[in-house]
Structure 1
Amino acid sequence: MQNNQKYQLGRWVVCPITNTFQDTDEQKSIDNKSMQVLLFLIQNSGQNVTKEQIIEHVWKESVVNEEILSVAISKIRKVLGDNARQPTFIKTIPNVGYCLITDVKSLSENAQPQEAPLHALNHQTFNRKPYFIGGTFLLLVIIFIVSFYRVYQEPENDNVAAINSIAVLPFEDLNENKDNIYFTVGLSDAIINQLSQSKHLKVISRDSSFNFRANRDPSLIGNALKVEAILDGSVQQLAGQVRVNVRIISTFDGRLLWAKSFNSQNKNVFNLQDIISRDIKQAFQPNSQSELVANKKIDSQAYEWFLMAQYHWRQRTPTSLSKAEAYFKHSLELEPNYLDALIGLAITYGQFHYQGNWSAKASVDKGLPYVEQALALAPNSPMALAAKGMLLTIKASYSKDAFPILTEAKEVFIRSLALEDSATTHHWYSSLLNQMGEDALVIKHMEHAIALNPLSASLKSIYSQYLAIRGKLDTAQKLYSRALILEPDRDSSIIESTHIFRNKPSSIIAISEWHLNNSSMLEYCSSDEYCEQVVLSYLSVGQEKEANKILARMASKHDHFKHSLTLIDYGLNNDLMNAVSLLKQLSKEHPNNYKYKYSLAIAQYRAGLYAQAKDSLLSLYPEWQNARSIDVTTDNYLALILYGATLLKLNDQEYANVVLNDVEHFLFLDKVHDKAQAEMALAQVNAQLFNPSKATKHLRKALNHGWLETFDREWWTLQDNHLLEPIQHQAEFIALMQEHQESVKKLAKQISLRLEILER
């Protein structure tokens, strides 16, 4: 289906390319996503389409819930004047999806209203003299030639202002020695930053657009990034001169929409960057007052230091961040009021907290003065405001009175986003909102960040972690798997994935290999987060010796890690009431944390506090209250098993059996991403229904899939699993546990042998 096709829908003419609805009296508009939903319904007119089909078609790589689709349908109905209860356009199919029930007519793309139909023309027109026909034909030929030349030979500058989305590619270095990488990358970054300040224009983040460095096919990029145009260019140095060629190309048909060449002396490359960015922005906003700041002159060496610092900052490793810090400081020594260098250094110090194991306070104390200096020079700098918001978010994490700090951070983020629609800012803002417990807004801003940066493995990884701590574990695993496809060789993913996936023998071995290859990082624990995840993985397989070595080197420990260690100790020592007490405290301190509340329900069940366990589960899933039928999903099936087991303990056997059987039927649909966990869940369901042979069959399958204890998920061993309690005295279960324990011991020994090399 082509977006330039128009459709007659009742009294409305639907124009997808402009997202408008037109009738004889009025014109209405709608957002692009809602229009895409309507187009999908038009394409399947008269057919029932499921919500899942629509979401997969319109939102594709994004992870969205059905509420977003409901909002889109509501917007469409409002524009069309439709009534959900008595529909004339879109009918809701309960528990399924939607159906477009009105007739649809495709309209000719070029159809335009005419003052008079062709047959109404005076018949005398066609009886004129032959020379008039020849003259008319010649005139048409001339017009055609001129039009052809203008369309295909000249860039159509007027069309640039109508573009709503664009991707900026990295500029090509045409020099033989390819020594302009800092400048070419910096130029592309500057253009992205300039265009991002245009509110009507969607600008794809560099992380996604730079993926097309080798393949610059406009059609391919347009389809992958959902943009109407690309901007690319080249840089060449000849005899002390710098020449930059820039062009904007339509992704729809490959037409050249805008092009310009720029020349400058080498020493004026900083001003050249400003001129290029200004002219490109003015092409998109021809009526804007785009001014070049005449007195803004930066020393060429300071500019070069800045470009080098920016290049290394983007690598986000402890070593590269140290290089970035040094280069930013060199730049500021020459230009103390260099705005971009001040902001870059402030951001670098913030990243040291996440990537270099600096304490939160050290990062803020170092970074905040630089960002304040930047804002004194440019109070409305969107990136300086965003950097301040990021640092204040870190500051709030260790401040006793966090509320005023969080409030100030929110204000500066909102100001920044009003000035520039940046994926980075949306990501940082979501971190603040996560700390404030604003779940809906976290999802909104992470979704928008991914829309601006659709090929970012890092954003998808971060978003998957947000989803995981909210109990949407299966959705998180699927999203993280997409991130791994985008960046399969990312070294840190081995550790990051422990937040999302369960342990398996292969993952434990991979962690020990990572440990060997990054021994210096664990020697001094330059990243607490990495050290913590390695410790938890080793403890899960009983490798306490190696875990304790790392623990002894950790000068600091995050509170959540300390709590995990305490719970593991309680679980292994069957100290269940203390586990309940700790989790009650954590749930009270973190009321929006799904993990603590769910763990509290488990602790209460394990301690025999079944009524309390039920209440805790219903606080997470209030829709289950008094319901006699519950929809099972990939994200709630584990909680439902615990709920069914709790109902059994409370003597509601009839409904408990319904719940557990529904879960079993759902699991047979094979929708769950983690096959080992799905088999373990089937073992637990059948244990609760007291089908011991089926339970042990699925338990064996789970172990064959590589299921292992994962101590940042559970804090008990498989032998002590509360949901398998009904079959724990069965001979086959006891034999399976012996096999499992032997396998775990062999794995622990394998890790020891691998790591002995570090002691030699």
Structure 2
Amino acid sequence: MTNTLQSTDEQKSIDNKSMQVLLLLIENSGNNVSKEQIINHVWQGSVVNDEILSVSISKIRKALGDNARQPTFIKTIPNVGYCLISDVIPLTENTLSDEQPLNTVNQQTNTLKYVVISGILLLITIISIISFYANNQESKTQNLANISSIAVLPFEDLIKNKDNIYYAEGLSDAIINQLSQVKDLKVISRDSSFNFRANRDPSIIGDSLKVEALLDGNLQQSADQLRVNVRIISTFDGRLLWAKSFDNQDTNVFLLQDQISHEVRKAFQPSSVPQISASTKIDSQAYEWFLMAQYFWRQRTPTSLLKAETYFKHSLELEPNYVDAHIGLAITYGQFHYYANWRAKESVDKGLPHIRQALTLKPNHPMALAAKGMLLTLKASYSENPQPLLDEAQTLFVHSLELEDNATTRHWYSSLLNRMGKEALVIENMEHAIALNPLSASLKNVYSQYLAIRGKVDTAQKLYNRALILEPDRASRIIESTHIFRNTPNSINAIAKWHLNNQGFFEYCSSDEYCEQVVFAYLSIGLDKEANKILARMVSKHDHFKQSLTLINYGRNNELMNAVSLLKQLSKRYPNNYKYKHGVAIAEYRAGLYTQAKESLLDLYPQWQNAHTIDVTTDNYSALTLYGATLLKLNKQESADQLLNNVAQFLHLDKVQDKAQAEMVLAQIYAQLSKPVEAKAHLNIALNLGWLETFDREWWTLKDSHLLKPIMNQIDVKELVATHQENVKQLAKTISLEF
């Protein structure tokens, strides 16, 4: 038996597994077949990952002359599986003749019959692709149903002496919102697609965003008539797939935008687009206020959010039932908590009434459902009975995502899942959000902070560096990076310079988070005077910030048992918080509670119970070093030596992003292994690379390092530490002179 694909002029062979995959798709022609279904059917119990299946699909496509971006045969269904989209004609054995259509799929046996699968004789099948070889000129819309991914670019404003940026971007947003409701169509978020405002090369966009098509257009005006030209282009070959012009002499630009977005959606989904209701007509001035509010809302600064609030209110004064304006204002109030230092309750109390009004007017509006979920998640943070709120929020998010797959919704949903301790789902939704918005520096920044809090610091640093490549001049990067990276002399100087240039920002600490991170930086180098000035201006302080300050004081005063007690309380209150659970183990080790430290580490890493399953990674090497040191204290010499040597060997592979910290951990390992020469050498390298104490990453100084303790009494090590302390004092003095 051979597995061949036969056309009139050539024959191509594929392996047996690939043929089985193709047969399964043929059996289910026109229907989505999940990856799991295919793997279970073809590989039957073998351990196979998605990549193996992708290879088989690639082989089939190559044999058929198919293209993944512009498929004629097999369409990829994002996050699901695959679908055979060509017509399939089942034949009996007697119907085979020399007059078969082109490109018959033919698995040859002595009797020209397929093998029996599950007791049922499969019909010999051919894929009818005559239309593929036809002139293919009958309609520019014929290929849109096969497109599985698209990016919508901002419309170009070609109208002279008139700035229509709000309308041009609003039109793109409306189309993105409509297309996001098309099932199985991946629509890239505006944050990523708008990066190509100045470079509209289809192939570059296709490669960068991994999309099969792009949509763009322009605004033109002749006399009193506005014309909007829209087109959809293949990123594979630059071919025009769809184009249409829309003319409007009416002053109601909102109605025109609604018409355009509906027509575009209809091109992809002809049978299921709701008709435009007359009730959706919005006053042009109200719509313009709305677009301006959106423009400022996206900048997410205290000042821009205030402008957004004002414009949304103006819009609602003219159109009290404008659903999108109610949603926008509610989201703005939610963002005031994160970007303008509002109390959570104030944001929720102002935002929820607008969301309730929006859902009264449009009960199934995807973004209204998501925004309510976001506000309820925020409300749960201060509620005495949060669980009903969290459950309701989850229901809202799930319903919203059923209606529209949106990166912002998945980001908000991840925040809820984080509160619920569902780490796997957090990661799944954040990665899906990034797939929808691959060029969003903001999303990568948020995700990197989440990973860092979960102890995956190295992974977080690499992701954050990719965010910086996308947005190198991000104004908040100096402060945001403190969540991801340790202090260095350069980073402390950058923070001090930013503080100096933004003194007004610190007058009343309009962002608690920013003030907190500057305080930690100054306390890390002993610049208590400047830190206390900021603390005095902070009207409110987050609980986690106050707890970190308490820990720092415990470290300075050597109150080890108090540190243990506080961290245990926090770990119990926040059972899914890696930082607190890991902190308990460190505090216990520092207090000489080695058995408890071991138990705490095994609670965090249960797989370490079996020494043979311990894998050293760029994210866990520091925790493993503490575990090895703990085993030494418990007289598990052989196990400890083997583990610490394995970690050292891994670190010498130079895979860790933070070179200074990797060298510091090597110094700690060799100190524990009673190798003072090596320990001192790596300590010296770490300090030369700019290693600094980093509050609140830790709450002790280098001089009090628990893992370097075995070598701290050596004269040359004391000299190194003394030099380090003097350098830190000099850094603090230099900064203090600038204020």
Return closer, same or farther for 1:605/1:76 CA change in 2, 3 Å cut-off: farther
Kindly indicate whether residue 615 of structure 2 is the aligned counterpart of residue 614 of structure 1.
no
Shift of 1:701: 0.4
Pairwise mapping of residues 346-365 of structure 1 onto structure 2 (< 5 A)? 346-365=330-349
Pairwise mapping of residues 496-645 of structure 1 onto structure 2 (< 5 A)? 496-628=480-612, 630-645=614-629
| 1:675 maps to which of 659, 678, 685 | 659
Kindly indicate whether residue 109 of structure 2 is the aligned counterpart of residue 109 of structure 1.
no
Asked if structure 1 preserves the Cα contact closer than 8 Å seen for 2:188 and 2:437, the reply is yes
The 3-state SS of whatever aligns with 2:142 is helix
1:308-365 deviations in Å (ceiling 9; x for gaps): 1111111111111011111111111111111111111111111000001111111111
1:260-298 deviations in Å (ceiling 9; x for gaps): 000112512110001001111110011224301123221
Shift of 1:516: 1.6
1:32-61 deviations in Å (ceiling 9; x for gaps): 9x9xxxxxxxxxxxxxxxxxxxxxxxxxxx
One-letter amino acid of the counterpart of residue 523, structure 2: L
The 3-state SS of whatever aligns with 2:229 is strand
Shift of 1:29: 9.7
The 3-state SS of whatever aligns with 2:279 is coil
Asked if structure 1 preserves the Cα contact closer than 8 Å seen for 2:186 and 2:436, the reply is yes
Distance 1:727 1:591 in 2: 35
Distance 1:628 1:294 in 2: 68
Match of 1:8 in 2: 14
Match of 1:138 in 2: none
Match of 1:164 in 2: 148
| 1:257 maps to which of 241, 252, 273 | 241
Return closer, same or farther for 1:29/1:560 CA change in 2, 3 Å cut-off: farther
The 3-state SS of whatever aligns with 2:693 is coil
| 1:282 maps to which of 266, 272, 288 | 266
Pairwise mapping of residues 610-759 of structure 1 onto structure 2 (< 5 A)? 610-628=594-612, 630-754=614-738, 756=739
The 3-state SS of whatever aligns with 1:735 is helix
Kindly indicate whether residue 61 of structure 2 is the aligned counterpart of residue 77 of structure 1.
no
> For the aligned residues, what is the CA RMSD?
2.9
Kindly indicate whether residue 199 of structure 2 is the aligned counterpart of residue 215 of structure 1.
yes
Return closer, same or farther for 1:31/1:671 CA change in 2, 3 Å cut-off: farther
Asked if structure 2 preserves the Cα contact closer than 8 Å seen for 1:190 and 1:277, the reply is yes
- Relative to structure 2, which stretch is displaced further, 398-407 or 639-648? 398-407
Asked if structure 1 preserves the Cα contact closer than 8 Å seen for 2:39 and 2:53, the reply is no
Return closer, same or farther for 1:155/1:552 CA change in 2, 3 Å cut-off: farther
Match of 2:168 in 1: 184
Shift of 1:7: 7.1
One-letter amino acid of the counterpart of residue 8, structure 1: I
1:521-549 deviations in Å (ceiling 9; x for gaps): 21111000110000001100000000000
Distance 1:103 1:537 in 2: 52
Shift of 1:615: 0.1
Shift of 1:9: 2.8
Asked if structure 2 preserves the Cα contact closer than 8 Å seen for 1:601 and 1:613, the reply is yes
Return closer, same or farther for 1:362/1:739 CA change in 2, 3 Å cut-off: same
Distance 1:370 1:344 in 2: 9
Match of 2:426 in 1: 442
Pairwise mapping of residues 41-52 of structure 1 onto structure 2 (< 5 A)? none
The 3-state SS of whatever aligns with 1:157 is coil
- Relative to structure 2, which stretch is displaced further, 602-611 or 584-593? 584-593
Asked if structure 1 preserves the Cα contact closer than 8 Å seen for 2:140 and 2:243, the reply is no
Return closer, same or farther for 1:481/1:289 CA change in 2, 3 Å cut-off: closer
The 3-state SS of whatever aligns with 1:693 is helix
Identity among equivalent pairs (%): 67
Aligned residue pairs: how many?
675
Shift of 1:734: 0.4
Shift of 1:6: 9.0
| 2:439 maps to which of 434, 455, 463 | 455
| 1:406 maps to which of 354, 367, 390 | 390
Asked if structure 2 preserves the Cα contact closer than 8 Å seen for 1:168 and 1:231, the reply is yes
Match of 1:38 in 2: none
Kindly indicate whether residue 235 of structure 2 is the aligned counterpart of residue 273 of structure 1.
no
| 2:282 maps to which of 298, 302, 313 | 298
Distance 2:170 2:441 in 1: 22
Shift of 1:92: 13
Shift of 1:91: 10
Shift of 1:84: 2.1
Shift of 1:8: 2.1
Asked if structure 1 preserves the Cα contact closer than 8 Å seen for 2:18 and 2:56, the reply is no
Shift of 1:519: 1.5
The 3-state SS of whatever aligns with 1:546 is helix
Asked if structure 1 preserves the Cα contact closer than 8 Å seen for 2:294 and 2:308, the reply is yes
- Relative to structure 2, which stretch is displaced further, 529-538 or 232-241? 232-241
Kindly indicate whether residue 198 of structure 2 is the aligned counterpart of residue 197 of structure 1.
no
Shift of 1:117: 5.0
1:377-427 deviations in Å (ceiling 9; x for gaps): 111111111111111111111111111111111111111111110000000
Asked if structure 2 preserves the Cα contact closer than 8 Å seen for 1:7 and 1:13, the reply is no
One-letter amino acid of the counterpart of residue 107, structure 1: A
Shift of 1:176: 2.4
Match of 2:3 in 1: none
Distance 1:744 1:345 in 2: 47
One-letter amino acid of the counterpart of residue 189, structure 2: S
The 3-state SS of whatever aligns with 2:733 is helix
Asked if structure 2 preserves the Cα contact closer than 8 Å seen for 1:155 and 1:256, the reply is no
Asked if structure 2 preserves the Cα contact closer than 8 Å seen for 1:172 and 1:233, the reply is yes
Kindly indicate whether residue 472 of structure 2 is the aligned counterpart of residue 488 of structure 1.
yes
Distance 2:29 2:301 in 1: 49
Asked if structure 1 preserves the Cα contact closer than 8 Å seen for 2:300 and 2:339, the reply is yes
Shift of 1:240: 1.6
One-letter amino acid of the counterpart of residue 514, structure 1: W
Match of 1:66 in 2: none
- Relative to structure 2, which stretch is displaced further, 284-293 or 491-500? 284-293
Asked if structure 2 preserves the Cα contact closer than 8 Å seen for 1:174 and 1:235, the reply is yes
Unmatched 5+ stretches in structure 1: 15-19, 35-71, 122-142
One-letter amino acid of the counterpart of residue 620, structure 1: L
1:202-258 deviations in Å (ceiling 9; x for gaps): 111000000111111111111111111111000112212110000011111111111
| 2:226 maps to which of 235, 242, 258 | 242
Distance 2:146 2:510 in 1: 49
Match of 1:69 in 2: none
Asked if structure 1 preserves the Cα contact closer than 8 Å seen for 2:24 and 2:38, the reply is no
Match of 2:361 in 1: 377
The 3-state SS of whatever aligns with 2:217 is strand
Q: TM-score, normalized by length of structure 1?
A: 0.85
Return closer, same or farther for 1:99/1:730 CA change in 2, 3 Å cut-off: farther
Asked if structure 1 preserves the Cα contact closer than 8 Å seen for 2:282 and 2:319, the reply is yes
Asked if structure 2 preserves the Cα contact closer than 8 Å seen for 1:21 and 1:27, the reply is no
Shift of 1:103: 14
Match of 1:21 in 2: 22
Match of 1:136 in 2: none
Distance 1:284 1:24 in 2: 23
Return closer, same or farther for 1:523/1:92 CA change in 2, 3 Å cut-off: closer
